[in-house]
Every structure is written in C-alpha cells, then in structure tokens.
Amino acid sequence: MTRTQRWTLTVVCAATAMLMLDIAVVNTALSAIAADLDTGLSGLQWIVDAYTLPLAATVITAGALADRFGRRRLFGLGLGVFVATSLLCAAAQSITMLNVSRAAQGIGAAVMFAVSLAVLSNAFPRMEERIKALAAYGATMGGSFAVGPLVGGALTSALDWRWIFLINLPLGLGCLWIVRRYVAESLDPRAPRVDRAGLLTLTGGLFLLVFALLRGNEDGWGSTTIVASFTGAAALLCAFVAIEARVAQPMLPLRLFRNPSFTGAQVAAFGISASLFAMWLYMTLYLQQILGLSAIEAGLVYVPGTMLNFFVAGATASVAQKVSARALVAVGLALIAAGQALLTLVEVDSSWALFLPGLLVALLGTGMVNPSVSQVALSSVPPEQSGLAAGVNDMFRQAGIAVGVAALGALVPAAAALGGGSPQAYVDGFHDALWVGAVLALAAAVATGLLIRGRPRGELPREVALETS
C-alpha cells in the first residue's frame, strides 16, 4: 500500500466514522436534549430524521456532481459544510434550531458519503487491494454506528450534550488537511448534467413519506394531513420513477437495476438500515428510560457488540476470497433478523445482560453485510461511474434509516418512550417494532440471496456493461 493510499483510506474512514457517529451518537443524549430543549418524542425523532432525510435525498446528486466536477473537490466541500453545521448544532437554543442545523449537516454528510466510496475506488484500482480497503471501510461504518451510543453517553455524562457536535470540529479540520495534501483528484469526463426534476420529486416524495410516518400517531392515520402526505409522497415518487425512465440524463439510471447484483446491493442496504440501524434509537431509549441506565452505562452495553462487529468486518477481506458476497450478505441479514428476534426476550424488569445475546448476533451479521454490500455496489458498474454507484447505495442506506425510524416509531407509544406513560406499554411496542424489523431483515436476506450473482468480482453482465459505458 502506497503512502497516498494509506492517507486516502485513513481520511475516508475517519470522515465516514464522523458522519455515522452523528447518526448514532445522539441516541444516548436524547434524554438530555429533551430536557434541555423541552421537546417530546416527535422532536427527538426529527433529530435523527432531519439528518438522515436530506442525506438520503441528496446523496445521489452529490455522487453525480462528484463524478462531474471532481471527487476530491466535493469531498472537501462536504467536510467543510459538515464541520460548520456541527458548530451550529452545538449552539442550538431550541429544538427547531437544532433540527434545521441537523438538516444542513445532513447535506454536508451526503456529499461526504456519496464521494467516499468513489475516492476509495480511485485510490485502489486493483480488486484485491480494493476488497481490503472496503473491509476497513465497512468495519469503520458498522463500528462507528455501534460505538456511537458510548461516545454520546461519555460526552453527555462528563460534559454536555452539545459536545457530541463540538467533537466534530477538530476531527473535521484534521480530515480537511489530509484531503488537501494527500487525496488525488478524479472525475468522469462524460458525467451527465444535474437532473433537477428527479432531485425535486425524490426529495419531496421522501420528505412527505417520513413526515406522514412521524406524525401519524399524533395526528391520526385517517386525518386529512396524513392521508394527503401519503398521497403526495406516492405521487411524487411515482413521478420520480417516470422522469428517470424518460429523461436523457437521469440522476438514477434505471437500467442499472437490470443488473440483479446491483439491485440486490440496494435491497441489502435498505434492509439493514430500516431494521437494525433504525431500531438503535428505540433500543437506547429502552436501556435508559426503562432499565434506568445512565448515558454512559447505556453506551457501555454496546461495547462487546461493537468490538465483534469491527473484527468480523475486518476479517471479510480474507473471507471474501473464498466465500461469495451473496452468501456473506444473505447470511449476515439473516443473523440481523435473528438478533432482533432475540432482543424481544427483554422485559420491563430485565437485566441489561439479557440485551447482549441479541445485540451480539445482530452485530455479527452487520460485520458481514457492510463491506460486502459496498463491494457488490461498486463492482456492478464501470469504474468511471463509481460516484453514482456509491451515491445510489448510500441513498438506500439513509432512506432506510429515515423511513425505519419513522415507521418503527409508529409502533412505540410516544408518552411511554420518555417515561411519561406505562413502561410495559413501551416494551410491548418495542417488541412489535423488533419483530417488524426482524421480518424486514429476513425478507432482505431472501431477496439478496436470489438477486446477487456469484460471478467474479468486478465483472459486469455484458448488456449492462454496454449500456452504462
């Protein structure tokens, strides 16, 4: 590995750790934020979704822009926006200001996320080296998401919840220095123009969908507002598909989905995010609000699973030489489903130790899925479209978190979630959400087992290679 490759891998993993931490790190600080900014469950859900929704809605555009204007340039721009908006989050004096700042932070994260895999793909052109780099990337992604509650708990308990955002400043500035000094520029000279119609319909459709899911319990599922939001979401998302099918230069070329492996990678990304990653918020609330653990204690519960996930993801670099990506993804998703099923054993008066078996099984599966999905997504398109492929995969990841947080949260009683109702009601809703998440992960496991092909890595189906070149 060359010096440039080492620094590129370091900065991509560090930047990815920051943005994944900012999805997970707020979880153990939610109780403190709720008390300080005087908000309820809906406001707390938006702390998560205000970040992931714009991330999901703009990540494809960010990837396309990176292919057109330069991946290093866009990566640095995303880092700058992320750092600046982290300061705004730390300075928030109301839940509205925090959520608006989180939305802006999500846009910066979208640019970073979309470009990260493309930067790695350019720095590691040989497939053998790329597999190892993606294993490190996958370990960082899963590990940082899992360790987020511990980091958030430590900062909140020792200092203040605002430090979960202030910590991004020195890390982000250090990453900017590395990008400027060591990361090589790359782009696609034939990259298409920005698809404005596609961007507007996708963003609007996702926003209305998540809004309806978040507000359904409070406003009533048959209310005019909720029905209109669902209807508008369906209309806009259908319009998005129609636009992408007809426009000359779509932001999401639908022909890519003719490759079953590419489609399987997106199903897997959405499946893991809408189930396990979306449940993180409610799992942490259970540990703190029902079991009465402090922020730091709740974070420590995740440490064994975090370590397991890290080592398993790192080991996929060698395992992937002998075991197909299809097997790794399908089995990993099945383990995630099994882990969530095991978590339904916890009750109102359970010990935190009963939480561990399900968590360990789920994070074992996560370590198998993350690097393998990234590899399948990148190897399913020509190298010059790596930014687009990364953007599509990241869109499905973030859309999964945004939709999952809202949809699974509809099963959890809002008052009980923050200790204002019956603990048993919260646990019953928590169990329901876990079962739905388990079924979703299992369905994704079956789908990916059928879709992802076992052809040599980097080889495209002939018809897709011709159409995307």
Q: What burial letters (b/e) apply to 64-77, b meaning 16+ CB within 10 Å?
A: bbbbbebbbbbbbb
Residue 398: pLDDT over 90: no
**CATH fold for domain 3-185+251-468:** Growth Hormone; Chain: A; (1.20.1250)
**Spatial distance between the Cα atoms of 412 and 431, rounded to a whole number of angstroms:** 9
CA 257 to chain centre: 21
Residue 463: pLDDT over 50: no
Q: What pLDDT sits at residue 445?
A: 93
Token pair belonging to 241: 């598909």
**Spatial distance between the Cα atoms of 168 and 171, rounded to a whole number of angstroms:** 5
| Residue 357: pLDDT band with limits 50, 70, 90 | very high
Average pLDDT over residues 359-370: 88
What is the DSSP code (8-state) at residue 259?
A: S
**Mean pLDDT rounded to a whole number for the chain:** 78
Q: What pLDDT sits at residue 188?
A: 65
Domain ranges of the chain: 3-185+251-468, 195-250
Give the global pTM: 0.69
Alpha helices, DSSP H, located in 294-385: 295-301, 303-319, 325-343, 356-379
Q: What pLDDT sits at residue 468?
A: 34
**Spatial distance between the Cα atoms of 316 and 331, rounded to a whole number of angstroms:** 13
Percent of the chain at pLDDT exceeding 70? 79
Average pLDDT over residues 87-115: 84
| Residue 461: pLDDT band with limits 50, 70, 90 | very low
Average pLDDT over residues 386-400: 73
| Residue of higher predicted confidence among 84 and 33 | 84
| Residue of higher predicted confidence among 143 and 155 | 155
Token pair belonging to 423: 């603990």
Contact 193, 214 (CB under 8 A): no
Contact 7, 182 (CB under 8 A): yes
Q: What pLDDT sits at residue 214?
A: 65
Percent of the chain at pLDDT exceeding 90? 12
Token pair belonging to 193: 């123009």
Q: What is the pLDDT of residues 7-59, one digit of tens each?
A: 888 888 888 788 777 766 676 677 777 777 777 666 666 776 677 677 666 66
Q: What is the pLDDT of residues 237-288, one digit of tens each?
A: 899 889 888 887 777 778 888 888 888 988 998 999 888 888 877 887 788 7
Average pLDDT over residues 130-148: 69
**Spatial distance between the Cα atoms of 19 and 109, rounded to a whole number of angstroms:** 6
Q: What is the pLDDT of residues 414-435, one digit of tens each?
A: 555 555 567 888 888 889 999 9
Average pLDDT over residues 79-87: 90
The least confident of 95-109, 158-172, 301-315 is 301-315
| Residue 189: pLDDT band with limits 50, 70, 90 | low
The least confident of 365-379, 413-427, 429-443 is 413-427
| Residue of higher predicted confidence among 202 and 139 | 202
Average pLDDT over residues 365-387: 76
